Structure 1
């Protein structure tokens, strides 16, 4: 066997091994809604801002005033903004659904309102490109798009209508905001769209939005059932996405501003659950080990302000296995005063 032939055979074997490794990261059947994402977990590199340990990060000098703003003269408590169906068998759902596809999924064009800050667009002409691997199932089947209704139902004026898609072959993440599929023209529409390579720490262009107001990826900040309720996963390993009613500017790692309310936190700000409040660890207020695991993530990785919405609503996935009769009272044991604001724009 010649050296050239051996080299070619070795290269072919390595390529096949790489493809086999990628294939093992994909579910047996795709497209599928809500399957565990490709490993290793957490998604994105270990030093990504979502996965950074902030337990020793400095407290912002204006932390108390920010917390007071959130409380708004009362007491703001945490709320899990995720769950299953609004009613058993209903189209309407709680939380973010997401689709998992593989590298064979055809790419579709999407016409965006904010095309100049979206990916998959020729930024000279504004022309949409075949870029987003959107599954046809999302067009007609419920529970693939945020809110629950299929994409061919136009609910853009009353719902954010996010559509999140993971390509498990390449570990690519595609996120769209305010989507609609027009069955008459056979075309996809959206407010904005963003692409993320989950093997890299690429940040959005400064000033750009994503599918989220802060310009961040949504998926890596979601509470997921496959992490929280899997006893083999001892540490969720990433920060959680949180909304507040108003924001003021943005700081790292966010790239986009969507508010200028005096006294409010900026997009990208981090909240951290204290380890002691009046001599008590607030994470122990719930006896459920899975809810407590979520609270431990709030202490170690924190919450990242990603959008305007209801105060202290924690984002998670749509999953029929969530038990909101357990989650709602557990989250309600935590209030704004149990948190502190990490120094704005802090980097490790």
Structure 2
């Protein structure tokens, strides 16, 4: 299998993010305090466009554009001056524990599942969030008995194939009438738009979750064409394209 090595996203149990990526002109200085945006209004496409370029796809939709930061090879870029320090902080001698969706742990499936739906065929919910100021209000198309991450974070990920929108909720729960969660984000898979700076998402780094997961169809195809998401026990601050900080820089 040929695997392209891309940038890596580091987060501490979904509470902070440190992203190794090339600097850009409008990127905030690390740990720089940014002004609080006032709106999360998104332009929702009426119909999805077809995937373009050689980027990854899912269920007929692009997994973000081919030139998205998740899908950009970095093998020809210079090494960041802080690379060695970041690797040492993570633990250069530590191994990576893969939580692939195979088998069970503590009574639930391992890994982070996702749901593929036709939005017009499933119920839609105005989910309630306990971080509403940094959440997209929805509605969220969620099927009956959806696949949800087992464990403490209870992420629910939904791709609507009719609009090519990705819906992600952190700490999702259903009371029999409506869905609720800690925070929620809606992503246009045809867009490179980021969350407003300092805003969370379903991942506290303020980034989408699904594009950083390894999927079975990619293994079958023999190629992974995007960055991989992983967590580390120690982080402090965030860099572009990360959007959200919860731990004070150390």
Aligned to 1:145: 148
CA distance in structure 2 between the partners assigned to 1:198 and 1:207 by the alignment: 21
Compare the two structures and name the one with the higher helix fraction.
Answer: 1
Residues 261 and 245 (structure 1 numbering): CA distance in 2 closer, same or farther, change over 3 Å?
farther
Quote the RMSD (CA, aligned, Å): 2.4
Aligned to 1:85: 103
Runs (4+) of structure 1 exceeding 6 A deviation are 18-22
Aligned to 1:228: 219
Question: What TM-score results when the alignment is normalised by the length of structure 1?
Answer: 0.53
CA distance in structure 2 between the partners assigned to 1:65 and 1:252 by the alignment: 18
- 1:99 is aligned, of 115, 119, 126, to 115
8 Å CA contact 2:48–2:162 kept in 1: the answer is no
Structure-to-structure mapping, 1:158-173, within 5 angstroms: 159-173=152-166
8 Å CA contact 1:247–1:260 kept in 2: the answer is no
Residues 85 and 252 (structure 1 numbering): CA distance in 2 closer, same or farther, change over 3 Å?
same
Structure 1 segments unaligned to the other structure (5+ residues)? 1-17, 23-35, 121-129, 139-143, 148-157, 263-348
CA distance in structure 2 between the partners assigned to 1:20 and 1:69 by the alignment: 42
- 1:218 is aligned, of 204, 209, 226, to 209
Structure 2 segments unaligned to the other structure (5+ residues)? 1-45, 51-56
Aligned to 2:144: 136
Residues 119 and 66 (structure 1 numbering): CA distance in 2 closer, same or farther, change over 3 Å?
same
3-state SS in 1 of match to 2:98: strand
CA distance in structure 2 between the partners assigned to 1:254 and 1:20 by the alignment: 26
Residues 195 and 63 (structure 1 numbering): CA distance in 2 closer, same or farther, change over 3 Å?
same
For residues 120-175 of structure 1, the C-alpha deviation after alignment (integer angstroms, 9 at most, x for no partner) is 1xxxxxxxxx510011222xxxxx1000xxxxxxxxxx610000000011111000
For residues 317-338 of structure 1, the C-alpha deviation after alignment (integer angstroms, 9 at most, x for no partner) is xxxxxxxxxxxxxxxxxxxxxx
8 Å CA contact 1:85–1:91 kept in 2: the answer is no
Aligned to 1:260: 248
